[in-house]
Structure 1
């Protein structure tokens, strides 16, 4: 892709158009993107950049026949020659206007007639400029579209003539700038790690700094916008906003080879969105990961990363002629002898409470004893753990302190 001032974008789609469903589908995609930046964009497809620019101006949505661009000249007047430029504009508009004026004096009024001029005739009349004109008309002007590599920082800025103190209206003024920044991210094949929005107030030097940082880098623009809007709703805007800055901190794109027809919005993406919202609301959530530790309180660790080998499977329980399907949410916990729902502090069971539960076995399922180097501490752990059933049918995890013989409730099996 290559940009040319003031508003021309040239894209080489020869080897990639089939990925979007052909030339017409590619054209529609280009229009959809262009409408984010221009109220009335136009597009056309041709073998060469000069003819594509000319058709976009005079025959929008036209597709010139492959290797027969001249067939698309039908019905075009000589003024279309002014837009036969491509990556290199006419050095002097006066020269092409002189060609048009001279052709009119000969009674020539259509582009097809100029196309039939011989190369030697144009060279004798206008020299090198005549050769360039003939080459562009006959697809002989080689213009190679080079990759676009923007080097400007990913920043945006906006100034409001009338300050805004309402979050939805302010967000609508900011969104077009976010569209541009994320379009550039896509062009650079980069991910957004963090977005910083600085809101400058009108009646003081006060400013609100809104940091938007999901749990992992991505180009999920909708997620960044949702997180930003939630932050703006919670921000007091009694002092209205006069100007704003947007800074996107980008990181290299993670390379992931996917099947072309595989949906890009998968469970992992939805999980990241959920965790990002929870993190912004100061809520802690994640997957419980088993840890090799002697004490139950340290047997699990909360992690937010999507496990690479995570695969949820349903457990089918057969009883006589009936089937009951029970969802398994974490395959590691299914084989764990300890519950995932632990109380922060073990709850002492009174004699009345203890009579309401029933121990599954008379022998403990697990015994925990403090190490010898902990014998001087007050937090000694000398426990016998049992499985128990409550009168509601809940499976409980209880232990007996071997020193005081007191029973405690420590957790529930989900």
Structure 2
């Protein structure tokens, strides 16, 4: 069994082990800051043991910048190497080579999933070895099993087994049970958004690392800021347009909310809760970038929503009149894809350009449509030149409309303004009044 051991250096919650589920389903946490991962059958999926160790350290350093790790056949040796030979990968089946150059104090960390029940006993072994002039781990490794049993009984047998890769420690699959919550207490209350955000960010790093390990998406994040001088609290709810694991997006949205929050009463403590949902399964093309146009659109629409701005795509509706034939939607259109536009140039040269919404180039209607038609005065009409005497389009009310007041008859024309703009205007055939309804690019 190949085991990866991580020493996170600082005390952690047992839920921190969830962040390493991206490496293997067999993960175990040991108080106060050790994580053990069985990578026997999963290392090749990450790119090999070296790549696996590098990825594990990248995750671990979100918990502690000084985190270390190592790989060996057994959990006790892997833990020992994580402290005394950081980033070392012991050759498979040859753990004894990894002991070269280590002193006797390394025996204190030869534990794995089960720590020494009494530190004094291992310290007594170290002290006894020193009294015999033995100073290296390799010399203790050469002790016979019968000698250690006679001197220290069952403890001596356990020590020999751990040195000789005979202490079987099975890492069970991790079953997540803890909620995605974080808590922080500030010894010095803060009333500046940027400083407070810097104290919150390490907790976000941990929560999103766990989210990644769980293969879940964050639907909503709630941050509660508790004030120092009263029971007042600020509840900041961050909910993008669609669930994701885009930590940068959640951080940007949170920081904007904090900047708009009055923090005259400084913050003493904070709570963070993430409400997660199952991961959206999406099959991507091998060459397709992960940060695609749809992801960028979701980021933009999330910012707009938080700022109470309305934006989106115009979706066609079945209606006779142009101002009622579109509605605003925020969902990314399924068929919104780029197409190649081929332009022929001189000397039979071709130029290929990627265009979006290619159909608009063949549409007789303007790209900028006024929400309501604008009345054109006689003076304004004198400054406008109709391109043709015949209308390009005629629109009439439906025959089933009963009220005569709702009846509408429009003749649409292309027109040029005095500035050379191409306009879309219509004449009401009942009142003979002209209206401006849109502009062409």
Same fold (TM over 0.5): yes
Within a 5 Å distance, the mapping from 1:219-258 to structure 2 comes to 219-258=245-284
Post-superposition shift, 1:386? Answer: 2.5
Within a 5 Å distance, the mapping from 1:153-232 to structure 2 comes to 153-232=179-258
Distance 1:377 1:164 in 2: 67
Q: Can you list the C-alpha shifts for 1:317-375, whole angstroms capped at 9, x where unaligned?
A: 55767989887442343443333421122112223333433334443333222234433
1:108, 1:114 within 8 Å by CA — same for their partners in 2?
A: yes
- Relative to structure 1, the CA distance from residue 246 to residue 377 in structure 2 (aligned partners, 3 Å threshold; closer, same or farther) is farther
Post-superposition shift, 1:21? Answer: 4.9
Distance 2:90 2:352 in 1: 60
Post-superposition shift, 1:16? Answer: 4.3
In structure 1, the partner of 2:327 is 301
Distance 1:52 1:319 in 2: 67
User: What is the DSSP-based 3-state SS (H/G/I as helix, E as strand, rest coil) of the residue aligned with 1:374?
Assistant: coil
Identify the match of residue 407 of structure 2 among 369, 377, 380: 380
Q: Which stretch shifts more, 221-230 or 261-270?
A: 261-270
Check if 1:86 corresponds to 2:119: no
Post-superposition shift, 1:262? Answer: 4.8
In structure 2, the partner of 1:400 is 427
Q: Can you list the C-alpha shifts for 1:153-179, whole angstroms capped at 9, x where unaligned?
A: 212222223321111111111111111
- Relative to structure 1, the CA distance from residue 208 to residue 381 in structure 2 (aligned partners, 3 Å threshold; closer, same or farther) is farther
Post-superposition shift, 1:103? Answer: 4.0
Identify the match of residue 286 of structure 1 among 312, 319, 323: 312
Check if 1:310 corresponds to 2:310: no
Identify the match of residue 383 of structure 2 among 332, 356, 360: 356
Structure with more contact order per residue of length (Cα contacts < 8 Å, sep ≥ 6): 2
Structure 2: segments with no counterpart, 5+ residues: 1-26
Post-superposition shift, 1:31? Answer: 2.9
Check if 1:266 corresponds to 2:289: no
User: What is the DSSP-based 3-state SS (H/G/I as helix, E as strand, rest coil) of the residue aligned with 2:70?
Assistant: coil
Post-superposition shift, 1:69? Answer: 0.9
2:323, 2:372 within 8 Å by CA — same for their partners in 1?
A: no
Length, aligned pairs only: 414
Identify the match of residue 142 of structure 1 among 149, 157, 168: 168
User: What is the DSSP-based 3-state SS (H/G/I as helix, E as strand, rest coil) of the residue aligned with 1:346?
Assistant: strand
In structure 1, the partner of 2:358 is 331
Q: Which stretch shifts more, 155-164 or 213-222?
A: 155-164
- Relative to structure 1, the CA distance from residue 13 to residue 390 in structure 2 (aligned partners, 3 Å threshold; closer, same or farther) is farther
1:200, 1:207 within 8 Å by CA — same for their partners in 2?
A: yes
Q: Can you list the C-alpha shifts for 1:361-405, whole angstroms capped at 9, x where unaligned?
A: 443333222234433263432222233333434332221212112
Distance 1:209 1:298 in 2: 39
In structure 2, the partner of 1:67 is 93
User: What is the DSSP-based 3-state SS (H/G/I as helix, E as strand, rest coil) of the residue aligned with 2:263?
Assistant: coil
In structure 1, the partner of 2:77 is 51
Within a 5 Å distance, the mapping from 1:25-36 to structure 2 comes to 25-36=51-62
In structure 1, the partner of 2:370 is 343
Distance 1:228 1:190 in 2: 20
RMSD: 2.8
Structure 1: segments with no counterpart, 5+ residues: none
Post-superposition shift, 1:226? Answer: 1.0
- Relative to structure 1, the CA distance from residue 408 to residue 323 in structure 2 (aligned partners, 3 Å threshold; closer, same or farther) is farther
Post-superposition shift, 1:124? Answer: 5.4
Distance 2:381 2:255 in 1: 51
Distance 1:390 1:318 in 2: 31
Within a 5 Å distance, the mapping from 1:8-19 to structure 2 comes to 8-18=34-44
Post-superposition shift, 1:67? Answer: 1.4
- Relative to structure 1, the CA distance from residue 258 to residue 103 in structure 2 (aligned partners, 3 Å threshold; closer, same or farther) is farther
Distance 2:54 2:351 in 1: 50
Post-superposition shift, 1:250? Answer: 0.9
User: What is the DSSP-based 3-state SS (H/G/I as helix, E as strand, rest coil) of the residue aligned with 1:181?
Assistant: helix
Distance 2:248 2:175 in 1: 25
